[in-house]
Amino acid sequence: MAPRERHVLRWIAIVGALLVVVIAGWVLPVVYEMRYDPAERTTGGSSEPAPAPALPPNSPSVVPPDPPSAESPGDQLGNHPVPTAEQDRIYLDQTQAQAAHPGLAVEGRDGYLFLGDAFMSNFAQAMGRRFYSPDEIASTVGAVTSTDQWLRDRGIAAEFVVVPATWSVYADKMPEWTDGQRLPTILDQLVAADPTSFMDLRPELTAARATADTYSRLNSHWTPYGSIVGFSTMIDRLQADHPDLGSLPLPTVTGTTESDAFNEFAGITGAAGPNNWVVPRLASALPSYTVIAADGTRRMAAGDEFLDITQMPLQTENPAAGNDHRALILADSATSLMSPYLAAAFGSTMMVRHWADQPAQAPNLPALVESYRPDVVITLVSERNLNVVTPDTAMWQAAVAFDAGEGRPLGEWSTSGAATLDVSGPDLSEPVTATLSSLPPDAATVRLSVQADSPGTITVSSVTAVGPEQSSIRVAQGENVLFAGIPAAATEPVLTITRTDGTGTWTLTSLSVRGR
């Protein structure tokens, strides 16, 4: 195994080892009490259990969730089956009370280990015990579809790809005590709600097991072979959804090799190997490419070099791709093993960590789009990160509405140009007011540009007959392009922009208002 390959996932094991003491001491009990204590759930509503979601076509080897029993009533918020008291007891015993590695790992069949609930409620997600309420489903679907629409309005192709967890592709390797207890997962819920917006790689990754392991026993990420199966599936879907992109280069796999490598659980539980790490053999070597660091430093990289999230944000350039497409990749740790194929497929990429697991740290996508000008935006989210509901739904819906109001300008202001709005000042250390010449005739939307020294939040408030109405908007460190709605019930032509969280200097650089 080459040194650069050994580096790719080493940081995961280090972080896992450092977290063990903290997790075991206080995070795990809090996680369980808040999310899985039966006393914290309310059951009722329909007495009929929710049906298991239909399996994707042409996937005979996918192991579906176990059908809910009549003893698992549907949750009153979404008819998702709720585990019984006996199932709760078994789960608590097997993952914590009597577990070899409480909260950290769950031992499966044939030497497979699965991350425990201390890691993004991982095993509770595997069992369908952590699931989305209807509001969470609507929020996530709304955020993704509105983002896609905003990008589509700019001629930008977009795909939201969920990188499956091991338990989604190797459900048959979960422990025997889970048999008959698995319920639909969050990804099942999202695909059922909107099958076109969430790319589901599970059928192809499961079918590819007939050739070689797409996931290994002792690592929560897909193997390099699994990543190229996922990449090929993703590119096929991208080309089908966006034929104007033309043909994108795909590596040809001629075979695989297996080694004992990347035992992630050695640093978490002390698990001994071997770990079945499968690497594809390619018909021809991937072309070398240029890596551009955040400070502008350029270097050449071998075609098979992996790029991990500790190096991001970064850009790549590859004339050998045969196209000049610019791809913005919103990435997490699963992207590392796919990075050489992404660098080979597009003339240019920008890879940025999406921070789906910690949204307060997430970058501002509209600002990235305005600066990088991509042709394609691909979001690659590891399945366990679905534990955190996709944020910014209201902002993205306001962004789409702002575009729709292009022909109905109500005023604008910037620090560098003429203004038709009276704005009290750019410094957001104090509330800033923006006064329109008159009340909007109906609902309106506002676009703001903010330069921030730190992550945080702002509110955009208007006055109505029943009091202030405000939108809270997440702000990223650096450049931000933000959107908010103004209600039709506003009684004063004044907006107030207030920083509600964050440090350092924040500057409002532009503001535009449009009618709906």
Which domains can be identified in the chain, with CATH numbers?
A: 3-49+62-387 (no CATH), 406-515 (2.60.120.260)
Helix (H) or strand (E) holding 162: strand 157-163
Q: What does the pLDDT read at residue 28?
A: 37
In the beta sheet, which residues pair with residue 114?
A: 106
DSSP conformation class of 373 = -
71: confidence class by pLDDT, cuts 50, 70, 90: very low
**Cβ–Cβ under 8 Å, residues 342 and 231:** yes
Contacts of 236 (CB under 8 A, 6+ apart): none
In percent, how much of the chain has pLDDT > 70? 85
Q: Using an 8 Å Cβ cutoff, are 198 and 173 in contact? A: no
- The pLDDT of residue 120 is 96
pLDDT on residue 362: 97
Which phi and psi (to 5°) does residue 277 adopt?
A: -95, 115
- Is the pLDDT confidence value at 69 over 60? no
Show Cβ contacts of residue 481 under 8 Å, excluding neighbours closer than 6 positions.
364, 366, 367, 370, 447, 448, 449
Residue 102: closest CA among 26, 216, 35, 169? 26
What is the tens place of the pLDDT at every residue in 89-147?
Answer: 999 999 999 999 999 999 999 999 999 999 999 999 999 999 999 999 999 999 999 99
The stretch 187-216 carries a mean pLDDT of 97
Question: Residue 214, SS3?
Answer: coil
Tokens 């009597």 sit at which residue? 98
Torsion (CA) 184, 214, 335, 388 in degrees, nearest 10: 20
Instruction: Tell me the per-residue pLDDT of 355-367, one tens digit each, with 9 for 90 and over.
Output: 999 999 999 999 9
167 contact partners, CB below 8 Å, separation of at least 6: 114, 123, 126, 173, 174
Q: Which residues contact 116 (CB under 8 A, 6 or more apart)?
A: 28, 95, 99, 101, 102, 103, 104, 105, 106, 122, 123
Has residue 78 got a pLDDT over 80? no
Provide mean pLDDT across the span 155-174.
Answer: 98
**Residue 369 scores a pLDDT above 90:** yes
- Determine contact, residues 218/266, Cβ cutoff 8 Å: yes
Length of the chain: 516
Mean pLDDT score, 280-307: 97
Q: Tell me the average pLDDT across 485-497.
A: 89
Does an H or E element contain 227, and which? helix 224-241
Poorest-pLDDT segment among 17-31, 92-106, 278-292, 450-464? 17-31
* 159 within 8 A of 100, measured Cβ to Cβ: no
415-423 mean pLDDT: 90
Strand partners, 434: 423, 495
Confidence class for position 2, pLDDT limits 50, 70, 90: low
Determine the pLDDT at residue 461.
94
Q: Tell me the pLDDT tens digit for each residue of 436-469.
A: 988 887 889 999 999 999 999 999 999 888 888 8
Q: 324: buried, middle or exposed (CB in 10 Å: 19+, 13-18, 0-12)?
A: exposed
Give residue 21's identity as a one-letter amino acid code: V
pLDDT > 90 in the chain, percent: 77
